[in-house]
Chain A
Amino acid sequence: SQQGEEDPQALSIQEGENATMNCSYKTSINNLQWYRQNSGRGLVHLILIRSNEREKHSGRLRVTLDTSKKSSSLLITASRAADTASYFCGTYTGRRALTFGSGTRLQVQP
């Protein structure tokens, strides 16, 4: 799999439910970042977690990082229809530019 590979590829939930998506990576990282992309738009930075952090919160977002398993998860609590988007994780892979996975497409049904 690619560096920064998200799963599942697609996720459909009802409004009010929690959404969890995961990112796995292969090489050591300095930090890991999560982004959201609405259809046909650019990416929006959500949250950055450093390699020495285990958990970070921002509003309804909770990100965890397990460097021993080389994985991160993004939890969106109490989801809303407006959370419908694709979510990507990005990591640095030995160069000073982020590498992104293929993303998780989240559909929140009203």
Chain B
Amino acid sequence: DGGITQSPKYLFRKEGQNVTLSCEQNLNHDAMYWYRQDPGQGLRLIYYSQIVNDFQKGDIAEGYSVSREKKESFPLTVTSAQKNPTAFYLCASQAEGNSPYKDGYTFGSGTRLTVV
């Protein structure tokens, strides 16, 4: 079945550590996105990518980094510079990155990151 997979489901980070969240899709979608969700809140955009080897900062990119070396993969690294990383992280993808106004997003099941 086609879909978008986020791993791990739960992740614990120690102070000062970098951690990488995985996002893989086999939908042949061009565009991929990372959002952060805090408890009881909406989604805030971290980074997005319309095409391989290109990505743009969202509203809260500080303390995060991404890469898009393959169409299927869009990993998110939470660096030690992100002072309050505890949150629920959601990855999404969308077909037809050059024409983003036709379809909705497909979301993964999320990664819950906790700082210990």
Contact = CB atoms under 8 A, between A and B. Distances in A.
Interface of A: 2, 30-31, 33, 35, 40-45, 48, 50, 88, 90, 92, 95-103
Given A92-B100, A96-B31, A102-B42, A45 B56 contact: no
Given A33-B104, A97-B33, A43 B48 contact: no
Interface residues of B, number: 27
Contacts of A92: 100-101
Interface stretch (B14-22, B66-74, B105-113): B105-113
Contacts, number: 59
B96 to A, nearest CB: 11
9 contacts: A30-B101, A35-B105, A43-B107, A45-B104, A50-B101, A88-B42, A96-B97, A98-B105, A103-B42
B27 interface: no
Contact of A95 (B56, B90, B109, B112): B56
Taking chain A's interface residues, is the majority helix, strand, or loop, or is none over half, making it mixed? strand
Interface string B76-107: 00000000000010101000010011011111
Contact of B90 (A2, A33, A43): A43
Interface string B40-57: 011101001010000010
B58 interface: yes
